[in-house]
Structure 1
């Protein structure tokens, strides 16, 4: 590629990212901490699903600094080859000066040989790489940069960030004030449906479909060279339509008439690597039981959930469950805590949605229900929590509902009932 052609791409993209910075909101991220990760010779990798704000976050972390940026997920760069990296650096220096210290590269894994370029550059410069496939980035960097890169995982907007985006100012205790609580709950109903992609707020379902198509086509079908593309898309759509539910590879194999179960496992792993889905294991102290037990699927964002089901309370309950799971994952990434999440089910099928394990200890049990108004529902949820509490030796018990709040005490065990807004805004 020619240097002038590269300069045009760089400047056009810079206009776009400057506009994003003007309209962006403060994320619940420690930008000072992120910048400290950049003490070279480290490379900072910001990974996450497409359109979740990785590039904007990188630019926010470098506010006030002279930095260079390029996004390789651009049709103008389809012919970019590894031998063009020297021309790219010349273009950067001509635009930003030879003393530019910070560099942001988006989706650089699209370029063969990128890791050698990055390994060399990080010796003298501070480098941020963003990408939508963490395993690919980390695996290729690890080959050349043992212990020389730091991973940071970013997700779509939390509910707190969504409120900030919508211009809703609130204080923690506002959710106990009737008028403010009504306003927050009104936005919560929208968040349950729309999720955390800001572009979906602007353009509606069509943008959610575009995000889904980009993930499938760019992050999986092209990158993994999937032969049976239509079949793969059906599997992805099926999983997103059956979120918050158990599945087994053998049953899925029969649904799609796939002869080799390993092929199906590979497909699901590709979807997980692209951040479209999460796989939740059933809790067991025995690793073998954990491996063979059914697993549960959760989606990266409610905007991408199957939209064919009617909006009954059970369906909304599953959407709430998906949001609670995402918030648990978000807090783990944000706080850097080594927590592991499972679900619990005993031999009688009694289930607890989330088992939060901190090290070797079960730290918390969380049940999710749309409502506890029906006596049978309340008895079922409480009974499952109590059984899990005994088996897993955990007394930190919680039920997240849409609106109900309160406390229960049964056989000396205290169970806290909190609303979804309380949980998401961390006001318990």
Structure 2
């Protein structure tokens, strides 16, 4: 089992906190396994077994607890004394009015509560209002390339670094996909996983009236990962394909896709004006396996893959990521974490001096002293004017290479 230390070290300081720990991410990205690792660590601290309660609401045996009253009564019976209890509720969004019950546990008992869910809405709406800021969220992504390397080592296999990387950008990082052999078996698992997410987490949860239109929108967004989007643009593309749909409907479907954590939004940040430009956002598919299922483009494909890969890696490391807007162009990413910031340009290869001039020249209008990086697959890197040039695989394997 790959120990997801990247996330555990962020969550550990809150093991005993009264804050409700909310773990979100796309279906089958490893949230339940991570929760199990947290449970194991808490057991290791000497907490009695009868003071740890784990409920996975995807299991049939807990189906009756999806009723909020039954859920409340079941847990209340377990809270027998004033000592600390640790409550773990997996896929909590399956419980009607769960936010009322969870808040009651928090307010009435000495508990530390952990929630997981396959929707970004867990921290919005009713949960946010009932808990009144008493939550902390952690976004979980599918396996990073470094975690895939750990997985392969655990399986006792040797590997060629570049060949494994090529597999990774082909199949993505879903643990379930890597549990079967490469080839048609992985294709079947990945396709079934995609269909399950679309049906359960988008169509059924949001009561989508036109699954066909949704699939067209989703396929377009995934195939065009890392490009700027708008409801008007997507509506125009679909209209050209004889599928007439209004921009507001497109935007509503995109929100549903984002809520299922299939894609992530990077808002554009005006560096000079110090303001977020939400209307010029980019969308990035959360797993490159889906990109290869739905891609329909060839030109500059690997540049888009590298940009998406770097973006997802930054999210997995806990950064807030924006697309930077300068006076004359844009910076691929502004990454912020722990009150530190850095700038990143992501490219496939520095094929010629023109490409190199474009990537390093993107920083020409930025006058501050935050660290600046160019990341590419070039095996030999050359820094320029204080801008660090990093090899992509080195960056993926070593979190310390960027200091922002």
Task: Sort the TM-score into its range (normalised by shorter chain).
Answer: 0.7 to 0.9
Task: Please give the secondary structure, in 2, of the residue aligned with 1:196.
Answer: coil
* Count of residues in Structure 1 that have an aligned counterpart in Structure 2: 377
Q: Pick from 34, 55, 62: which aligns with 1:70?
A: 55
Of 29-38 and 186-195, more deviation after overlay is shown by 29-38
> Match for residue 366 of structure 1?
344
Are 2:25 and 2:119, in contact at CA under 8 Å, matched by a contact in 1?
yes
Structure 2's unaligned 5+ residue stretches are 181-185
Query: Does residue 357 of structure 2 align to residue 382 of structure 1?
Result: no
> Match for residue 219 of structure 2?
237
Map residues 214-233 of structure 1 onto 2, 5 A cutoff.
Answer: 214-233=196-215
Query: Does residue 259 of structure 2 align to residue 273 of structure 1?
Result: yes
Q: CA deviation at 1:288?
A: 8.3
Are 1:404 and 1:417, in contact at CA under 8 Å, matched by a contact in 2?
no
Structure 1 residues 308 and 197: CA distance shift in structure 2, 3 A: closer
Task: Please give the secondary structure, in 2, of the residue aligned with 1:282.
Answer: strand
Structure 1 residues 195 and 360: CA distance shift in structure 2, 3 A: same
Are 2:17 and 2:112, in contact at CA under 8 Å, matched by a contact in 1?
yes
> Match for residue 421 of structure 1?
393
| Alignment root-mean-square deviation, CA | 3.3
Q: Pick from 209, 216, 223: which aligns with 2:191?
A: 209
Q: CA deviation at 1:395?
A: 6.3
What is the CA deviation profile of residues 19-50 of structure 1, one whole-angstrom value per residue up to 9, with x for unaligned ones? xxxxx211123646624424364322111111
> Match for residue 400 of structure 1?
375
TM-score by length of 2: 0.81
Are 2:318 and 2:337, in contact at CA under 8 Å, matched by a contact in 1?
no
CA distance in 1, matches of 2:295, 2:14: 44
> Match for residue 196 of structure 1?
173
> Match for residue 140 of structure 1?
126
Q: CA deviation at 1:289?
A: 8.4
> Match for residue 158 of structure 1?
144
> Match for residue 183 of structure 2?
none
Are 2:170 and 2:288, in contact at CA under 8 Å, matched by a contact in 1?
yes
Are 1:242 and 1:306, in contact at CA under 8 Å, matched by a contact in 2?
no
Are 1:280 and 1:343, in contact at CA under 8 Å, matched by a contact in 2?
no
Q: CA deviation at 1:286?
A: 4.6
Structure 1 residues 30 and 198: CA distance shift in structure 2, 3 A: closer
> Match for residue 85 of structure 2?
101
Of 79-88 and 138-147, more deviation after overlay is shown by 79-88
Task: Please give the secondary structure, in 1, of the residue aligned with 2:177.
Answer: helix
Structure 1 residues 143 and 297: CA distance shift in structure 2, 3 A: closer
> Match for residue 114 of structure 1?
98
Structure 1 residues 310 and 266: CA distance shift in structure 2, 3 A: closer
Are 1:48 and 1:134, in contact at CA under 8 Å, matched by a contact in 2?
yes
Q: CA deviation at 1:143?
A: 2.5
Task: Please give the secondary structure, in 2, of the residue aligned with 1:290.
Answer: strand
What is the CA deviation profile of residues 171-191 of structure 1, one whole-angstrom value per residue up to 9, with x for unaligned ones? xxxxxxxxx9x8322322222
Map residues 332-371 of structure 1 onto 2, 5 A cutoff.
Answer: 332=318, 339-344=320-325, 347=328, 350-356=329-335, 363-371=341-349
CA distance in 2, matches of 1:42, 1:137: 12
Are 1:396 and 1:415, in contact at CA under 8 Å, matched by a contact in 2?
yes
Are 1:344 and 1:355, in contact at CA under 8 Å, matched by a contact in 2?
no
CA distance in 2, matches of 1:72, 1:52: 17
TM-score by length of 1: 0.77
> Match for residue 20 of structure 2?
43
Query: Does residue 306 of structure 2 align to residue 325 of structure 1?
Result: no
